[in-house]
Amino acid sequence: MLTVVSILTTTALFSLAMLLVLGSLLRSPVAGVREWFFANLAMVVSLPLLALRTAIPDFISIVVANVVMSLAGAFYYAGCARFLGRPVPWVRMLAGVALIGIAMIVWRYVDANLPMRVVASTTFNTIVCTAIGVILLRRRPRDRSPYNFWFAALMAFLFAGTQMVRGLYFMTLAPDESLAMLNSVWNISLLTVGAVVMPTLTMIAVMMVHDAMLAKVEHALNHDHLTGALTRKRFESITRDLLAAAQPARPLVLLLIDLDHFKRINDTHGHAGGDEVLRAFVQMAGDFVRPGDALGRLGGEEFGLLLPATTAADAAAMAESLRAQAEGQVVSGEFGSCRYSISIGIATAHWEDSPDRFNARADRALYAAKNSGRNRVASEETLPKLETEMEMEMELPAKAGRNSAQA
Ligand SMILES: Nc1nc2c(ncn2[C@@H]2O[C@H](COP(=O)(O)OP(=O)(O)OP(=O)(O)O)[C@@H](O)[C@H]2O)c(=O)[nH]1
């Protein structure tokens, strides 16, 4: 038969297992793991102390055990806050834990009252668990699957609910110190629900940590480490998707952007100076990127900007303003300071375009922009029409050829 001791012992063993799992994640760079680890450690310490009631001094099994158990809730909340990049209200939480300690001392040594001790600890748990559910739902990252966050929040609300009901139930009992009231069917049922919730919350925390690590890996795979722009592979995959979805009413435009005379910048300011210019350009271009647009680094100093649902006229205006902004930008750093300019080729997707052909048409425009003196914008639509693929291939020299021809 289930007793308070058997429930506390089982939960302590669950928490120990989760502690070991969290231990394996302590070295991960994800914020919050350390606090969740301490939350479980507090559970592992406090539950046996509660279970040892009558076998050890009351001060340990009542005051210390309840304070440490309250710390578990506070640490769990702190883990969530840190995981979500929010400040941890340590002062308020530790004040709450101190109040629990005072309540335990008063209702054990001044006015012995077991029901009021249960009410005090369940009130604290209800508040902390509600706060956990709220922060998880309100602050969850919008670019990740909401599943873990809803799951954890529902568990936190379930725990808050059972704690509240348990507190209300004990409020109806007469002041007493008889442990028999702990073994009532009501208390055992509510404790059983509570017993699965804390280890489950930790399991979800582990799922959230894995998801956060996956997000970091995905970000590293899809973004160029120097500039933060999308990688060429990711950019090409977005191009394919957007091309497939493009319609005459929602034209797709590609800007191919190349920094002018970048070799000279490297030669004058060193490779580190060149890197700084690349970073500054992407940061500046980021201000032009609207939700749904995609900016990728396609090679050394060549970038692509995809503009879905954009007319050729709007794209040309954006390109011109980007060019003017680059021309006016002064990049400074340890290397000194320098100016740079960009050339831009524009192409609007045709319904029959393959990604390669779309790119080649924008590249043709970029070549025209470079050829006519650099620091310009050229649109493929304004160039003489080419009839065949072969003509396009002949028209487009390899980039190296283009550069040497223009140097
Ligand atoms: N600093 C830095 N330089 C790079 C990077 N990737 C490529 N480069 C340099 O970029 C330069 C590109 O030179 P070119 O292709 O000749 O082009 P360009 O000098 O910009 O000439 P145009 O494009 O014709 O205006 C080369 O010197 C590469 O070494 C990078 O990540 N950092």
Residue whose CA lies nearest to ligand 1 atom number 18? 261
CA of 377 to the centre of ligand 1 (A): 19
What is the predicted pLDDT for the residue at 387?
A: 59
Same domain, 266 and 139: no
Residues 6+ apart with CB under 8 A from 391: none
Q: Is any atom of ligand 1 closer than 6 Å to the C-beta of 335?
A: no
What is the predicted pLDDT for the residue at 5?
A: 83
Q: Is any atom of ligand 1 closer than 6 Å to the C-beta of 259?
A: yes
Same domain, 237 and 212: no
CATH number at residue 263: 3.30.70.270
Same domain, 295 and 161: no
For the chain, first and last CA: distance in Å? 87
Quote the longest CA-to-CA distance of the chain. 96
Q: Please check whether residue 19 lies inside any domain of the structure.
A: yes
391 is catalytic: no
Looking at per-residue pLDDT, the higher value among 177 and 368 belongs to: 368
pLDDT at 13 over 60: yes
Q: Which atom belonging to ligand 1 lies closest to the Cα atom of 402?
A: 24
What is the predicted pLDDT for the residue at 401?
A: 45
Closest C-alpha among 210, 297, 212, 308 to residue 259: 297
Report residue 181's pLDDT band, with 50, 70 and 90 as the boundaries.
low
What is the predicted pLDDT for the residue at 94?
A: 96
Same domain, 28 and 130: yes
Q: Please check whether residue 252 lies inside any domain of the structure.
A: yes
pLDDT digits (tens, 9 = 90+) for 53-90: 889 999 999 999 999 999 999 999 999 999 999 999 99
d(CA 327, CA 373): 14
- Domain end point (choices 162, 192, 222): 222
Percent of the chain exceeding pLDDT 90 equals 70
Pocket test for ligand 1, best of 225, 263, 275 (most atoms within 8 A of CB): 263
Q: Please check whether residue 68 lies inside any domain of the structure.
A: yes
Average per-residue pLDDT in the chain? 89
Same domain, 288 and 353: yes
Same domain, 117 and 65: yes
What is the predicted pLDDT for the residue at 388?
A: 60
CA of 300 to the centre of ligand 1 (A): 6
Q: Please check whether residue 227 lies inside any domain of the structure.
A: no
| Alpha carbon of residue 199 to chain centroid | 23
d(CA 332, CA 339): 9
pLDDT at 399 over 70: no
Q: Is any atom of ligand 1 closer than 6 Å to the C-beta of 302?
A: no
pLDDT digits (tens, 9 = 90+) for 84-143: 999 999 999 999 999 999 999 999 999 999 999 999 999 999 999 999 999 999 999 988
Same domain, 196 and 259: no
Q: Please check whether residue 161 lies inside any domain of the structure.
A: yes
Q: Please check whether residue 257 lies inside any domain of the structure.
A: yes
Q: Residues 9, 14, 20, CA angle at the centre, nearest 5°?
A: 125
Q: Please check whether residue 97 lies inside any domain of the structure.
A: yes
- Domain end point (choices 222, 242, 271): 222
* Identity of residue 119: V
Report residue 407's pLDDT band, with 50, 70 and 90 as the boundaries.
very low
Same domain, 185 and 289: no
The domain total for the chain is 2
Same domain, 197 and 57: yes
- Domain end point (choices 222, 248, 281): 222
d(CA 225, CA 325): 24
Same domain, 395 and 276: yes
pLDDT digits (tens, 9 = 90+) for 238-266: 999 999 887 777 899 999 999 999 999 99
Same domain, 288 and 332: yes
Same domain, 64 and 176: yes
Residues 6+ apart with CB under 8 A from 287: none
> Tokens 């997000």 map to which residue?
215
pLDDT at 221 over 80: yes
Q: Are 326 and 265 in contact (CB under 8 A)?
A: no
ipTM of the complex: 0.96
Residue whose CA lies nearest to ligand 1 atom number 32? 275
d(CA 211, CA 41): 23
pTM of the model: 0.73
What is the predicted pLDDT for the residue at 177?
A: 66
Q: Are 378 and 344 in contact (CB under 8 A)?
A: yes
Residue 90's CB is within 10 A of a number of other CB atoms, namely 11
pLDDT at 404 over 50: no
Q: Whole domain around residue 282: which residue ranges?
A: 232-406
